[in-house]
A and B are shown apart, each in its own frame.
Chain A
Amino acid sequence: MTSLLEVNGLTTHFTTRDGIVKAVDGVSFRLDSGKTLAVVGESGSGKSVTALSIMRLVQEPQGKTVAGEVLFKGTDVLKMNEREVRDLRGDRVAMIFQDPMTSLNPVFKVGRQIGESLMLHKGMSRKQSFERAVELLDMVGIPHPRERAGDYPHQFSGGMRQRAMIAMALACDPDILIADEPTTALDVTIQAQILELMMEIQERTGTAIIMITHDLGVVADMADDVMVMYAGKQVEYGSADEVFYRPRHPYTWGLLDSLPRHDIDEKGALQPITGQPPSLIDVPSGCSFHPRCRYAQPVCSAEVPPLAEVSDRHCAACLFAADPEFVRGAPLPVAAGEGGAR
């Protein structure tokens, strides 16, 4: 059976004055209808570029997807012509972005911006698309949608703008919704509302979601699968249960350790991962995480760890991931329901 989306060996490079940045380096995953994949990692780990590469929105000529395939219902998006990709964007695959303050065009009314893709993909008239925009605003929980559709983005609050962005993305009833840190720019209470809204919508429409975030807590409740990225590479990928309860990669441990926890040692300080993410131009030899890894061995700087299956539906890119002795160093699992939308 073909998956809704299957990404194999996706590799995207950026050419800069200082050299080639390997922003995404051989990323593979699959996504089925109605499921949620969380892509987790620090800033600059290649999460957003992965998403943009799927939509073919990487800014050329600086950025270019140089290898891999993105199979949407079996057809390779990377081989499509401009027209076919445009037909896909906003219609079958929609995206919402991190900063709702700047992602809406300030000079067009919100209703018009939501209706734009309906006119484009569904051939609706301006009036029809406006009517539908009002319904969509209502669906994402904006009060007085009819009046608000005639407002400009600056008349919306941050949370409302993100709701409007979601309405815009859902306009054409897409198969996949890519959310690039949709809650990062919002304050905590609004974050929870937005995540709840997304889950609600998924339940109702069966849209598959790719949720990009740097906050593992955000995805604990939501994700079916989790992919952890570091320096443009996948370091761990598997079902949410596996990754949360039986993490195999020291970087994932680090991420889990740096989550605020309520169950253990409430007053204890968080344990951050020391050091900075590496420059993607000059990636460390061997395992790119080894300079920051507490458990690094000499071999780690020499050998590139392959993404190997460690159990059913669970892969990790660590030379020791299959070593039961080593894995005992993992942090305590996150209690179910913990974290999540705090």
Chain B
Amino acid sequence: MLKYIVRRVLQMIPVFIGVTIILFILRAPGVLPGDPVRMITGERAISEQLRAQIIEKHALDQPLHRQYALYVSNLLRGDLGESYQRGRPVLDIFAEKFPNTLRLALAGILVEIVLGVTAGIISAVRQYSFSDVLVTLSTSVLVSVPVFWLGMLFQIFFGIKLKEWTGGAFYLPISQMSSADFPDWVHLILPAITLASVSTAYVARIMRSQMLEAMGQDYIRTAEAKGLTRRAVTFRHALKNALIPVVTFIGIDFGVMMSGAILTETVFSWPGVGREIFLAVGQRDWPIVMGGVIIIVFLVMIINLIVDLSYAVLDPRIRYGGGAE
């Protein structure tokens, strides 16, 4: 088990190298438009002296591989550099935004688990019933609706059309909602549902198909032959088997959500990691883009590792590092 974890952690190294190299190629002169000095100073005319200073400070005159080496050595010391635009350490900026992203991700996962798993189970247990058809139909619609569009629809409908009815709870963009008119969690509702929409639909579908598959297995008949109730057979014998792939999907999805839901956060002006990266790309604020992506890659890999390890807990047939037999 420990050997497995060490191996997985070592595997992260080449991924890091690959990701940082790709990002460095993107920022090489001529690949994407935009002069970094201009991005730092804005439209103001600046003296040659200042320009030279800025270039030196950010090592922009060095060849690309030098810049890369410098960046990596800083990275290893935990220094992600400074934002061009704000002159603040990248790490500080993300430390500030991350809790918002985490809150949204947790809310999204909650929606996904509660709605997705429940809908999937109901639709499997009552196959071909009205609720099953409803679940199948609505999941088909949900997976095909773009997230940003759904978010906008929600805003128009709940924020503007139903403004009176909801007391304006969903009216203002979240970032401007500093007043204590509503408890904090109210602002989470629409973004969380939007963020979770597609994956909730997937969870419901995976849950349904896994449940149906499990219900058709021989061991279900064995359980029935023991005289167990329908409920015990479904929720004890079938569910535990059916949940394995669902948990994996949700785990990986949590990693994705933590890495900042760029579309959802942008549409709802949610001050999280994703929106920060989105803005930084527009401003060619490379330290933020690079730092953000590296943090995300790191998080996703850690979460994937945790998901893989959780397999072993759920499915006794899987034991890492050669356990049984």
* Residues on the B chain within 8 Å of A104, using CB: 219, 222
Residues from chain A with a CB closer than 8 A to the CB of B219 are 102-106
Q: Give chain A nearest CB distance to B234 CB in angstroms.
A: 13
Contact, CB under 8 Å: A105 / B237: yes
A-B contact count (CB 8 A): 75
Shortest Cβ distance from B225 into A: residue: A95
Do residues A99 and B241 form an inter-chain contact, with CB atoms below 8 A?
no
Specify which chain A residues have a CB less than 8 angstroms from the CB of B237 in the assembled complex. 105, 108
Q: Tell me, yes or no, whether B240 is within 8 Å of chain A by CB.
A: yes
Chain B residues with CB under 8 A of A120? 226-228
CA distance A41 to B222 in the complex (A): 23
A155 CA to B228 CA in the complex, in Å?
A: 25
- Whether the pair B241, A116 counts as a contact (CB closer than 8 A) is no
A249 within 8 A of B: no
B239 CB, nearest partner CB in chain A, Å = 10
A228 to B48: give the CA distance in the assembly, Å.
103
Q: Of B217, B221, B316, B325, which one neighbours A57 at CB under 8 angstroms? A: B221
**B-side interface size class:** 20 to 34
Closest to B239 in A: A107
User: Is A78 located at the chain interface by the 8 A CB criterion?
Assistant: no
The A43-88 residues at the B interface (CB cut-off 8 A) are 55, 57, 86-88
Render A103-125 as a binary contact track against B, CB cut-off 8 A, 1 for contact.
11111110000001100110000
B224 to chain A, nearest CB (A): 6
Interface pair A88/B227, CB less than 8 Å apart: yes
Is the C-beta of A89 less than 8 angstroms from some C-beta in chain B? Answer: yes
CA distance A165 to B221 in the complex (A): 13
Task: Decide yes or no whether A130 CB sits under 8 A from chain B.
Answer: no
Option from B224, B229, B316 in Cβ contact (under 8 Å) with A106: B316
Rounded to whole Å, the gap between the CB of A153 and the closest CB of chain B is 9
Rounded to whole angstroms, the CA-CA distance of A95 and B314 in the bound complex is: 28
Interface string of B210-238 (1 = CB under 8 A from A): 00000001110111111111000000010
| Distance (whole angstroms) from the CB of A121 to the closest CB of chain B | 6
Task: Tell me the minimal C-beta distance from A288 to chain B in angstroms.
Answer: 28
A83: nearest chain-B partner, CB-CB: B229
How far, in Å, is A43 (CB) from chain B's closest CB? 17
Q: Is the CB of A152 within 8 A of B316?
A: yes
| Closest partner residue, chain A, to B218 (CB atom) | A102
> What residues of A have a CB within 8 angstroms of the CB of B218 in the complex?
97, 99, 102-103
Known: A97-B218, A107-B240, A107-B316. A155 touches B226 (CB 8 A): no
Q: Chain A residue with minimal CB distance to B316?
A: A152
- Report the minimum CB–CB distance from A204 to chain B (whole Å): 22
B316 pairs with A154, CB closer than 8 A: yes
List the A side residues contacting B315 at CB < 8 Å.
106-107
**Selected A-B contacts with CB under 8 Å, 15 pairs:** A57-B224, A87-B227, A89-B224, A89-B227, A90-B225, A94-B226, A97-B225, A105-B237, A106-B315, A108-B237, A116-B228, A120-B228, A152-B316, A152-B317, A155-B325
Q: Which residue of A lies closest to B220 (CB)?
A: A105
The residues of A that contact B240 with a CB separation of less than 8 Å are 105, 107-108
CB distance from A216 to the nearest CB of B (A): 25
Q: B324 on the interface (CB 8 Å rule)? A: yes
Measured in the bound complex, the distance between the Cα atoms of B240 and A109 in whole Å is: 13
Bound complex: CA A154 to CA B61 (Å): 62
From residue 228 to 282 of chain B, which have CB atoms closer than 8 A to chain A? Answer: 228-229, 237, 240-241
* A91 close to B221 (CB less than 8 A): no
A154–B317 touching, CB < 8 Å: yes
Given the complex, which residues of B lie within 8 Å of A109, measured CB to CB?
316
Contact of A86 among B217, B221, B228, B325 (CB under 8 A): B228
Given A90-B226, A116-B226: A97 touches B317 (CB 8 Å cut-off): no
A178 to chain B: closest residue by CB: B225
Report the nearest A residue to B219, measured CB to CB.
Answer: A105
Name which of A95, A109, A121 has the most chain B CB atoms within 10 A of its CB. Answer: A95
Which of A89, A151, A152 is the one whose CB lies under 8 Å from B226?
A89
Beyond known contacts A90-B228, A107-B240, A154-B317: 16 more, CB 8 A cutoff: A57-B221, A86-B228, A88-B227, A89-B225, A90-B227, A103-B218, A105-B222, A105-B240, A107-B241, A116-B223, A117-B227, A120-B227, A152-B316, A154-B324, A155-B325, A168-B222
* Complex: A154 Cα to B317 Cα, angstroms: 7
CB distance from A342 to the nearest CB of B (A): 26
Contacts of A154 in B (CB 8 A): 316-317, 324
Q: 4 closest Cβ contacts across the A-B interface?
A: A90-B226, A89-B227, A90-B227, A102-B218
Which residue of chain A lies nearest to B216 when distances are taken between CB atoms in the complex? A59
Within 8 A of B (CB), among A240-272: none
Evaluate contact between B221 and A103: CB separation under 8 angstroms: yes
- With both chains docked as a complex, state the minimum distance between the C-beta of B240 and any C-beta of chain A, in angstroms: 5
> Nearest Cβ distance between residue A101 and chain B, in whole angstroms?
8
A91-B227 contact, Cβ under 8 Å, with A104-B219, A107-B314, A154-B317:
yes
Distance of A154 Cα from B325 Cα, bound (Å): 10
Q: Considering the chains assembled together, what is the distance between the CA atoms of A120 and B316 in angstroms?
A: 24
Query: With the chains together, A129 CA to B77 CA distance in Å?
Result: 57
Q: Of all chain A residues, which has the CB nearest B217?
A: A102
**CA A121 – CA B227 in complex, angstroms?**
8
By the criterion CB–CB under 8 Å, are B227 and A86 in contact? yes
Q: In the complex, how many angstroms separate the beta carbon of A254 from the nearest chain B beta carbon?
A: 30
Q: Mark B301-325, 1 if CB is under 8 A from A, else 0.
A: 0000000000000111100000011
Residue among A105, A116, A121 with the highest chain B CB neighbour number at 10 A: A105
Chain B residues with CB under 8 A of A117? 226-227
